[in-house]
Structures are given as structure tokens and as C-alpha cells.
A and B are shown apart, each in its own frame.
Chain A
Amino acid sequence: MIDLSDHDNFIDAVPHAAFAQLRHEDPVHWNPEPDGGRGFWAVTRYEDIRTVHRNPDVFSSEIGGTSLEDLEPEQIEARKSMIDTDQPRHDELRALVNRRFTPKAVGVWEEQVRKVVREVLDGAMAKGEFDFVAEVASEIPMQVFAEILGVPQSERREIIEIGDRLLGNADPEYAHDGDDDAHRDLPFSSPAALEMFAFGRRIADERREHPRNDVMSDLVAAGLTQRELDVYFVLLATAGNETTRHTITHGLIALSEHPDERERLRANYAELGRTATEEILRWATPVHHFRRTARVDTELAGTQIRAGDKVTTWFVSGNRDEAVFGSPERFDIGRTPNPHLTFGPGGVHHCLGAHLAKLEVRITFEDLLARDVQLELAGPPERLRSNFFNGIKRLPVRVTR
């Protein structure tokens, strides 16, 4: 069986065949960690993933955090953001900003998103040949996020650059020098988190002086500790950027590799735009897995799990589960229903930014496909070395008529 703790198994491609084998032969699989971890359960079937996430009383986010690393309790405490909490703390943190991300609140942003997308694509397309990730896929979410959080647009590249190092901590291109253990009290065990903290504090300080009608003003008014505010900013800056970036990049790859679907979508975006967006989200699955920790002895799909065991849920596998999706290996922009797990399988941690992400993806491809000129791939994508993010570092494209 594949070793899911080995980032190298995710470099060339998502190991879909290995996940299919796990679903069929060992759906709650014990994955040892050869590099010293204590091993974890890998849950790969849709229904079992849903069960784990919808039973936080059994499978905790707070006991051991949501990443695979084995951390000391004080390290977990120091670096935990909303996603690493259970109720009631989770609900208190989420309530601070939830109203900014409802469908109605996000709907207000539609015109702004359209403007961002148009300007970004205008600028990129004029170049003729370029890196789609740098020029388009990273720019659109970052510019929208900068507007919503009130980050000056002149500083947005800095956030992208810090975020790349933060989340690329398993990739030699971004990995920091030195001892991982020195930074285990920081998000992603990365010293880049300190730079992101500093960035967030600058914006927070400004909002304390001059509150606005925005997310950061809400957060500084909430009476959080400095570290709570720091990790909240890191969460928003990473979750709101990198995931949508990779989704947009995977969307372009998928549409390029499925020209029939692309032309079908182009011919009728008004009718197919929303289902195509959901299918791109299923196809991309930017976050491969999240971890929970069993709070008590329990059983999942006939497998005994002991209190304290690490339990990982692989959305990337659930999104291709034959029991739920007909012909899951087919990219079908009209797929209905499409109950993908990309924003999570439900439960309190269901993605806060889901409505915003859908809006950004839908508008991006609507604008792109409505143009007289189109994009074609000019080389293979360069993948991030990570078993957590389905990331694309670079994607060369060229403009064609």
C-alpha cells in the first residue's frame, strides 16, 4: 500500500489509483510513519469521511490539531487557529466573522470580483506567454482577499510570497533552513509564520486606530489574545488564497485537457457555469486531507480505533468514490448532483469561504471563456511537493486565437 505520509508520492500526480485501491481493499487503513511519527488511520471512503467530520464528539480537532505532525500540547495550544478547535471555542471564533461570508454578504462582492478578474486577465493576456499561477491564479484570490481584509494592494505580492514559503514547508524550493523542531509552535512549523504574524499585526494596529467595516476590524474588536489574532490572520491569509489559487489552476488544466467540455461550457455558461464550478472544485480538491484525533475508543467501518489515535480523512479520495459519483474519473461540467467534499464533508468546520471561493472560480472562467483569445498549456504543470496541498507552483500557458 502507498505511504501517505511520504510527500514524494504526491510529486508527479495525485495517486488516484492508490486511493482507489485503499477504498476497495482497506478503507480504514493503518499507515505507519517511517520517519518517526506514531502512525495514523487513513479514511478514504466518502461515507466514512463524512462520519468522522460530523461526529466531533468522537473525532476531535482540538486534541491533536488538524495536521499530521505529532505535537506537544503546548505547541498545539500555541499554534491552533479556529480549524484546530472544537465547540464551544470554535463557534465563538467563527461567529466573529461568519456574517462576512454568507451568500448575501459575498453577493455584494460580485461586481468587485468581476473587476479584479477582468483586470488580471487583461494584464496577463497581453503578455502572450506567461506563468498562469503567478499572473492569474494567485492574483485573483489575493486581490479579492486584499480588498476584503483591507491589505494595501501594493503589499499583496508580499503576502503571496510569505504564504508560499509557509505552505510549501515540505517542498525543497520553499523549505526553510534549519531545524523543524525549533518552529513547532508555529503554524506549519514554519518560521515564515512569524513574517505573516508581523504582516497581520500591521493591519490590525491600523484598524485599532481607524476601524472600518471589515474583517480585521471585527477581529481587533473581539478581544482576542495577540496569538489568537496572529493565527486567525494566518488562517485567513492561507485558506483564502492558496486553496482558490490551486482550484483555478486545476480548473484551467482540466478544461484544457477536456476540450469538448470546455466548448460545451463556453457555448452555455449561463446554464452550466454553476455546475462547472462545482465540478472544478471536485476535480481540484486543493486540500488532500485533514486530521482528527479519536477522543474515545470507537469503531469506524468495522475497524477498531483507540482513543488518541490519529485519523486522517482524504477528501481527494472521497471526491472520487464510485459509491457516490457516477464515473468519478470523468470531468463532467454538468454533473448533478455533485456533493463533493472540497469544502469539507459538513460539520462545524465546513469551509467559511466556500461561497466566496465559488464566486471567484465561476467568474474567472466566465470571463476567460468569453474572450476572443484563449489560453493553451505551453508546458507541464510544476507540482508542489506536499501530501496536504494539491498545489501547482507554475503552469506555462500561451495565448491563442
Chain B
Amino acid sequence: MSTYHVVPRMRTGFVLLAAVALIALTGCGSSSKSSSKSSSSASSSAAGSASSSGAASTNTAACGSKAGAPATGSPINIGTIDTHQPGTDFTDGPNMITAYFNCVNANGGVHGHPLKLFVQLDQTQPSQVAAAAKQLIQSDHVVAIDGVFDLLECTIDQSFWKQLGIYEMDAGIAPECWSTPNSAPVNMGPRYSSDGAVQYALNSVHASKIVFVQSNVPGTGYIAGGPAALAKAAHVPITELTENVPITDASSVAVNLVDAAGANGSVVLNFTPPEALVILQAVQKLGLEDRVKSWGCSTPCDTDFLAKALGPKWNHKLFVNAEAVDADDHNGPEIQLYKAILAKYGSSVAGGIGSFSQFGFLLAKFLVQALDTVKGPYTMKSVNAAIVGIKGYHSEQLCDPWTYGKLALHIPNNSDYTVTPDNGKMITAQGCTQISAADPQIAQYRSVAKAHGVNLG
């Protein structure tokens, strides 16, 4: 058979295959009302898995109102938008929320209604984030937005949520997560976490100079604004540096940082663990760890992975801001529930115990508590009224009670811990400490919150 005869058949075959694939995909998109990736399991399957493990069932029963009774009512649809791209995967947060929802659904649900989480993933494209918000509202008919772990979402969608009367709960990164009326995060984010790390260096280490270094990405000016204000208030000079990531010449970065800080200065890093590790290992390799008074880091460094990778040389030399309690270091009832849910329902939470899953747990817990207060049907209006009405919800994991409220800005998590490496683990170096109001944003929040009668701990 000649090539002439083979090629047209190949083409027809390819076209048919492509057409079938496209029809199948389009069908998937249009035939299902719930077109987002719905990651909540049906109540029956959750119940099935709940009853299969007696011990875990005892531990996780506290998440719902009727232990062991699966929720059978109409589902309450909740939406979230999360960054998921090579190198930046925040899906542990929504996966933990799904785990919590599955636990609730297996134990009576919310007044008998199961919770269903619709997850929209984005690759840091503004148009995609905006479209995802519309998809959640118009196609998935969600009544609330909870558990947003995204690089851009707060910036892009805040006006859309305001227009709809939606009050989102998130663990954000963009400045608007803290500075707008329709968003309240459970985390502190890069700015206030960096504030915490600088504050420790100023008040506990008594550094005579601060060198604050972070990755060279959009928004560095906003983040550096906080540490600069704290240093200025303490009359301590601060040098702000940025480094392009990934860091290719860690040794020269390490030498520059040490030279800039001097013997009585402190270096504070605001990097993700891989980049922070690269710098700190270069410091160790060059034997520079004792050439400054202390090393600090914002929350991302709060992982046992970093503590293990650094080794005992860094014990009590690196001080890391922690926005929530160290789950390995505490064992109260809430932490036990968190660990039990993670063990039983959290197989998709790739990072296991860690800040992402802790924030996911908190976002789910606060939402369920708010939903419990709703009288009558679960509409967008009633659910969001309950969310914005959240006042003084306690958690073992946060220093202060968590409040939403109709405020111009929301920084409800504004007290933090400090942890330090100790033979491969992070342990608490300092308990709850309020972030200084020298940061004008913190001062503004406290003033607004006080005027609205919010208990600031």
C-alpha cells in the first residue's frame, strides 16, 4: 500500500478521534450542572467510609452534630478558587476543607444538609480567576466562597463579591485579602508575617540593624512596607533587598546578607522553604551563621522539613514567625480532631500536617459554625449574613478569637508565635505576641475593629 493511500486514512482517523474527544469534553462541560471540580464526596460514601473504621469514627465524630448519621438533605454548595500550577500548588488547603466537609457529612451534616465544595483551579491568569468566580456563582450555584488559597484572587474578584454581597473567607496572599470589606483571611500573609519576624529580631534579639530580603516578584513594596515601618518606629536602620528566584548563586547572596547586617544585625528572609533553604545552607557551608546576631524568616519557613534539612547547627539561631500554633507541639482537642480528620479523610492532602492544612481546617470549621447559626433556608443572603456575623470564634490554633464583621478591612489574625529549629523539629520560641501597630495597616485595623466592638484578644 502506498503512502498516498495511508495518509488520508490517518487524517480521517485523527479527525474522528479529535472530534470524539472534543464532543466528549464539551459534553462534560455542558451536561453537568456542577461543572467545577466538585471535590466533596457524596454523603453516602462518606458515611460508608466513616463506619468502616471504628477508632477513627470516635475521633472524628466531634466534627458533626449527629455522630455516625450521614447527612441526607439537599447539599449546601460552597465554592473556592485556588492556585495550582507547576511550582505553586496550594491545593492542600481546599483538599483539607473537603476532608473536613466529608467528616461533617458523615456525622449529620449541617442541620442534615451535606456540604459540597466546588473547586476552581487557576494558573495565575487574571482572566481565568475572574471567569472562575462567575462559573462558581452562575453554573455551580454556590452560596458562599470559603477556602480561597490563591495568588491573585482577592485582587481580581473583590469587586464582584461586593456586588453580590458575598463575604469570602480565605488564606490569601494578595493585599486585597486584608484591605477590603468582603474578604477576611485566617492567615497573616507575607506582610504581617514578615512584620512578626522583624518584630522578634527587634524586641527579643535586640538587633541593631535589620536586613530584610525577599524574592523579586510583584508586591514586594507592599510586603516591605510593614517591616520598614516597624524598624523606623524602633529607630533601627533597615536594608531592604530583593533576589531573583530561583536563586542561582546562593553563596554570594549569603555573603552580601551577612555583610549588610553586620555582627549586631539580624537577617530576615521572606522566601518559600526551597529558596530559604538554599540561602541558609549556603550560609552554613561558608560558616557564616554566627556572623550576625540572629536569622529570621516569615511563616513559610515554619516546616519540619526545613528544620530537618538545616540540622542542629541552626538550633535556636533561626527564628520563624508562625501564624498558627505548631500542630506537632500541641495536643488539645481541636488539634486532635484536625489530626484525626487528616488521617481518616485527608488522603489527598499531600503535605499532611502543615500550615496549609491547618488553615484549611480553620476555614472549614469557622464556616460550619457560621452555617449552624442560619435559621431557615441556606441562600446566598442568609449564609453570607452568617459569615459576616462571625464574632469571637475561638480556636486552639490561633492566638486571638476570629471575627469577620462589616469592617473596611480585615486582619483578624494579628497575633503570632515564633518557632525555632530544635534537632530537626520546629518548637515554640515565643508564645502569642501582638504584631506591632507601628505597621500602619495593623493600626488602622485595630482602630476600625475597636470602633465596631471587636475583641482584639
Partners in one complex: no
